Amino acid sequence: MTTKKASKPRKQQKNNDYDASKIQVLEGLDAVRKRPGMYIGGTGTEGLHHLVWEIIDNGVDEAAAGYASHIEVVLHKDGSIEVSDDGRGIPIDKKPDGRTALEVVFTELHAGGKFGSGAYSASGGLHGVGASVVNALASKVVAEVDRDGATWRLCFSERVPGNYLKSGSFKASSKLAKVKKIPANRSGTRIRFWPDLEIFDSESRLEYDLIRDHVARVCFLVPGLHIKLHDKRGGGRDAEEFVAAGGLADYVDYLSVGESVTDILTIHEETSFEEKVPVDGKMSTVTRPCTVDIAVRWVQGYEPTTVSFVNTIPTSEGGTHVKGFERALSKVANDVLLKDYRKLKKLAKDDNDRATPSDVQEGLVAAVKVTFPEPQFKGQTKQELGTPAVQGLVYEAMKAGFTDWATGGGRKTQINGLREKMAQAVLNRVLSRQQLEARRKASSLSSNGMPDKLADCRLHGLDSELLIVEGNSAAGPAKQGRDAEIMAVLPLRGKVVNAGKASLKQVVDNTEAQALITAIGGGSGRDFDLEATRYGRIIILCDADVDGSHIRCLLLTLFFHHMKPLLESGRVFAAQPPLFATKIRGEQVYAYTDEEREALSNEHNIELAKWKRFKGLGEMNVDELAETTLNPATRVLKRMTMTDGAEAVQAAELFSVLMGNDVATRKDYIVENSGLIDQALLDI
């Protein structure tokens, strides 16, 4: 055996003119325009709104510090946004370099009054990039300050400071224009800016509802703050005003939907922590005062709602304060509320009696806010708090407050109600897992773990389809007419359980529901994983009669309650099979409604008696079913939405009343709704 000596890899010939001239230094606000996503999260609608938040939040910080009580936000027809407040007004005196503080705030990154022991003990941001980033990403900015007995103005055109002359031309200058005299005790700031449309995506829009939600939320964070919102872009919308006095408790009450399990529990804790920060160029330990405010309530329902804030800034991604809050919830729930609870004793043998965070937070509505100077955020957009010490402070505050409530501070009926709710969540989760495991072992599943009645396809993924059909009569032609490469067929041999009324156990025990959940492959409930689904489209093939409508409603109700992401992502469809067929000059023609059949009959002079009426999909031969319902090129599908799902839930309830075995309930319904029926048709 001979070996060949390995040769050294040859260096590729490259352009070797990499020198100092290739090193760029981005001056002033160029860095923001080069990488706007680093500062505002992106150049879409979210980033556009972030500019508005930055200016609004400057006024909110003034209010939180006790210097302002009113903010006004105006959306102008020309696409500009104007925000005014009655705070102290941005300083207009000069810095050592001759520029005013107002100019510096709008032209220098990391310049502001929110650092260290500056003008704010606690504010929405420490980065000092808010106003300057807005200027960097705007084509024009007009800043007016009421201060020292006068209104002062400084404009920015393409980030250059100056003012507009009466002729309309722009004159670059650092000198402030004195607009008018005002009372000496009047102060405030007005900022109007025009976003640079070349920076933002063409489909980006300022959405009134998003801005409305933001200012409403801000009022809950700063009790007593009054905000007025105008939309002058057209549409006849009146100005709205917002003010709240109850703080986070009012916010939790506002967010609560459905019947309450508990009253609102509020926790307020003033504490402190130490951290190392640079002071005069050296790392030093400083003490930070920190206020923890929490409001919580549980309601009947499943989905949790937790909003969090640092000072006055919403942290949509949570952070250390939310982690501390959630740790405390689970700790008290397991060690106090559910400890030795009789309902969970059977689960304790297998160590299944501990509640998970999702069990504890089922139906939770909570608001968590921490207030302290110079918070550390993960990223410029300030959506996630990173200050480590805050986690422990929130944990201790929530643990103490929740424990006091659970050990007698709250109403006994509410404590027991919450204990029962959490225990039931644990039982449902454990039962669901056990049932699913049992089903996989059941004889109804084939060797590959799928229902034995499933005629599966060879390829799975976004291009594949699961066809759900009524019974074997429709399944036969569907299996023969499908494209077996990408189309699977699952026949239903009985009614699917009404998931809107059934318990989780009843859903899991229902053979047809379990076959669907198993075949789709994404699981069910809160653990449903859209990425794990085996098919890109779920297509319901039902007869165009009352029974078909009922089955379709039951299927949509099951998806709505237990596989909701399928509807949210537009993966569920209903096939629209024809009702009639005939031949016109030897060609097969279909009609989907009585009106369409009549129109075709009149157009081609065909007697109605010559039309074939399909009573169900099972009456179609393979070719007819393939052409009208299976072939992607000729079939008609209707995409099912969340609205369709919600309507199906109501329809399924109505079907249960009108077609169920409870005669008394059906009679009551008919009597109550008799006004909707033509009395002449009733034989009473």
269 and 409 both lie in a single domain: yes
pLDDT confidence tier of residue 127, bands split at 50, 70 and 90: very low
216 and 276 both lie in a single domain: no
301 and 367 both lie in a single domain: yes
SS (H, E, C) 178-209: EEEECCCCCCEEEEEEEECCCCCCCCCCCCHH
How many CB atoms lie under 10 A from the CB of residue 132? 25
410 and 533 both lie in a single domain: no
Which of 245, 272, 305 is where one domain is finished? 245
668 in a structural domain: no
State residue 306's pLDDT score.
Answer: 96
Which residues participate in catalysis according to the annotation? 470, 543, 545, 547
278 and 291 both lie in a single domain: yes
Q: State the CATH number of the domain containing residue 391.
A: 3.30.230.10
State residue 436's pLDDT score.
Answer: 64
Report the DSSP beta bridge partners of residue 164.
170
Q: Which string of DSSP letters, residue by residue, matches 253-316? A: HHH--S-BSS--EEEEEEEEEEEEEEETTEEEEEEEEEEEEEEEEEBSSS--EEEEEETTEE-T
pLDDT confidence tier of residue 324, bands split at 50, 70 and 90: very high
State residue 681's pLDDT score.
Answer: 40
115 and 214 both lie in a single domain: yes
157 and 50 both lie in a single domain: yes
188 in a structural domain: yes
Which of 396, 429, 462 is where one domain is finished? 429
1 in a structural domain: no
Q: State the CATH number of the domain containing residue 61.
A: 3.30.565.10
* 557-599 confidence digits (pLDDT tens): 888 888 999 999 999 998 888 888 898 888 889 888 889 999 9
412 and 448 both lie in a single domain: no
417 and 448 both lie in a single domain: no
pLDDT confidence tier of residue 634, bands split at 50, 70 and 90: confident
The answer to whether residue 66 scores a pLDDT higher than 80 is yes
299 and 336 both lie in a single domain: yes
The answer to whether residue 146 scores a pLDDT higher than 80 is yes
281 in a structural domain: yes
Q: Are 498 and 652 in contact (CB under 8 A)?
A: yes
236 and 305 both lie in a single domain: no
255 and 353 both lie in a single domain: yes
603 in a structural domain: no
66 in a structural domain: yes
451 in a structural domain: yes
**Structural domain span for residue 43:** 30-245
State residue 442's pLDDT score.
Answer: 45
Which of 227, 245, 263 is where one domain is finished? 245
Cβ-in-10-Å burial (0-12, 13-18, 19+) of 156 comes to buried
Q: What is the number of structural domains in the chain?
A: 3
Q: Which two tokens stand for residue 329?
A: 């919830």
Q: State the CATH number of the domain containing residue 647.
A: 3.40.50.670
652 in a structural domain: yes
